[in-house]
Amino acid sequence: VGKYIEERSKGKTSDAVKKLMDLSPKTALVLRDDTETEISVDEIVPGDIIIVKPGGRIPVDGVITEGNAVVDQSALTGESIPLEKTIGDTLMSASINKTGSFRMRATKVGSDTTLAKIIALVEDASASKAPIAKLADKISAVFVPIVIIIALVSTAVWLVLGSSFEFALSIGISVLVISCPCALGLATPVAIMVATGRNATRGILIKSAEALEIAHSVDTVVLDKTGTVTEGLPSVTEVIPLNGVNSDELVRVAASIEKMSEHPLAQAIVKYAVEKSYVLSLTENFSAVPGRGVTADISGEKCFAGNAAYMADNNIDVTAVKNEVGRLSAEGKTPMYFASNDKLLGIIAVADTIRQTSIEAVRQLGDMGLDIVMLTGDNSATTEAIRKQLGINKVVSDVLPSEKESVIRSLQEDGKRVAMIGDGINDSPALVRADVGLAIGAGTDIAIESAGIVLMKNDLRDAAELFRYSKITIRNIKQNLFWAFFYNTLGIPLAAGVFYPLFGLTLNPMIGAAAMSVSSIFVVTNALRLYNTPSHKKS
């Protein structure tokens, strides 16, 4: 019976994986030689043009090349709201096309698709062992020979005391049967399988049992600002020209300098200029200093774009805009300076919107007693406005991308158990350095590689849910281990006949076998309760 319940539990905890496997369509409509051909999904190669019709599932990862779509990604991310997609937008395999037909170009196929990686992660996590499980294995390795010795000694003692061989042998067999470490062996793996399966259905991918166990002991959470706390989609809010330059000219020059930069703030300015239909100038000798700014030559003039420190590095006076910069920073906006040769052309303010769910997530993390630290490359004045909105006590500002890892290391040297939450791109060194890394957002290889846990939805509340659930899971495992030890502590003396001289109590081997099964059933049933643990995340 115990074995049956165990197998049923394994089947239930792997339901999430089976459902994910069933999401992938078996065939796809591919355009080859200007002809629509239905082929097996396994035959798709990167670069193939795929036609996806209304109601159809997207077979592989790719980008839209023609048409628009409203895509349901809930099976992968747990996000119930469909997303609008247009030309150039990325698509995840197994998502459902809710509207008209569109064409897409395959970029990742086979085991490289998002769906395949999710399945592999869940399977690996279910099979992995947490440190607490390894401890149980070590105990079992010692426990088994001790039990054999107890069984032999018990048999010998009763023979010496004059009992019949049948009675003494029954005592020895009872000790062996009732002390079978089945419950001890099931205490951790079943709980881990349930936890990883349950979280996978909610868009939280736990890569290993070790990451889940470490998460329960975290006392400090470090948040990257851009893309984690905020939307990661900054936009231009103000244009302030100086020294005889008009707004149009400032934006045109600024966008011309920034068009080669991949920084989100730079891209916001370029997008703003494109929307205004400005014609950008050709640039030469582009160079960038991470965390500072960029330089490029335009029509023979050396132009600069960056923060105040970058202007100072290039001997450009910015005192004329000191008051404006102070005002913008106090409003939570990031001022960017632009100059030509040694003349300041003006500043452009860019702001990133705080995610609606971030304030609630920070509150939940604080209620759990966790210390929260936010990292950002913004100046302290800009950061202060965001800090107040979020209710965070500690912020480390003016941090270069390369310095995030050292901030994590410093906290660890102070005895902190640190979790790092970032977007998995420029945060990868910090994600690896942290005791446990959580990458927020799906679809990036670096997120999956660098972090121990991947939050598929861009929802910081999932981090709070993960920490809460990890505590519940470890508590469940400890309950199972306690029961296994408690059961053996009582059962072995009873089976060995310790209470026979006083109360006439002995344990029949058949009853011992039944008791062992009941112990296993208790452990498995207790672990299965984790699957129905309600989420505390508000809609």
Q: Return the sign of the alpha-carbon dihedral for residues 325, 328, 332, 333.
A: negative
Say if CB 59 and CB 40 are below 8 A apart.
no
What is the rounded CA–CA span in Å between residue 420 and residue 319? Answer: 37
Give whole-number Cα distances, 52 to 68, 92, 109, 475, in Å.
11, 13, 16, 46
Tell me the two tokens of residue 332: 């939570």
In total, the chain counts a number of residues equal to 539
224 catalytic, yes or no? yes
CA trace torsion 454, 124, 203, 11 (10° rounding): -170
Catalytic residue from among 61, 72, 224, 462? 224
3-class secondary structure, 47: coil
Say if CB 336 and CB 324 are below 8 A apart.
no
Query: CB atoms < 10 A from the CB of 142, how many?
Result: 9
| 356-360: Cβ within 8 A, 24+ apart | 357/459, 357/460, 357/461, 358/229, 358/230, 358/390, 358/460, 359/389, 359/390, 359/391, 360/461, 360/538
What is the rounded CA–CA span in Å between residue 102 and residue 64? Answer: 7
Beta strands in 293-417 (DSSP E): 293-298, 301-306, 334-340, 343-351, 371-375, 394-396
What is the rounded CA–CA span in Å between residue 431 and residue 453? Answer: 10
What is the rounded CA–CA span in Å between residue 39 and residue 56? Answer: 15
What is the rounded CA–CA span in Å between residue 301 and residue 342? Answer: 10
What is the rounded CA–CA span in Å between residue 451 and residue 431? Answer: 6
Could you give the strand order of the β-sheet that contains 83-85, starting from the edge strand earlier in sequence? Answer: 83-85, 69-72, 96-97
DSSP conformation letters of 132-167: HHHHHHHHHHHHHHHHHHHHHHHHHHHHHTT--HHH
What is the rounded CA–CA span in Å between residue 397 and residue 332? Answer: 13
Phi, psi of 369 (to 5 degrees): 85, 15
Q: Which residue from 182, 144, 141 is spatially nearest to 518, judged by alpha carbons? A: 182
453-490 exposure pattern, b = at least 16 Cβ within 10 A, e = fewer = bbbbbbbbbbbbbbbbbbeebbebbebbbebbbebbee
Residues recognised as catalytic: 224
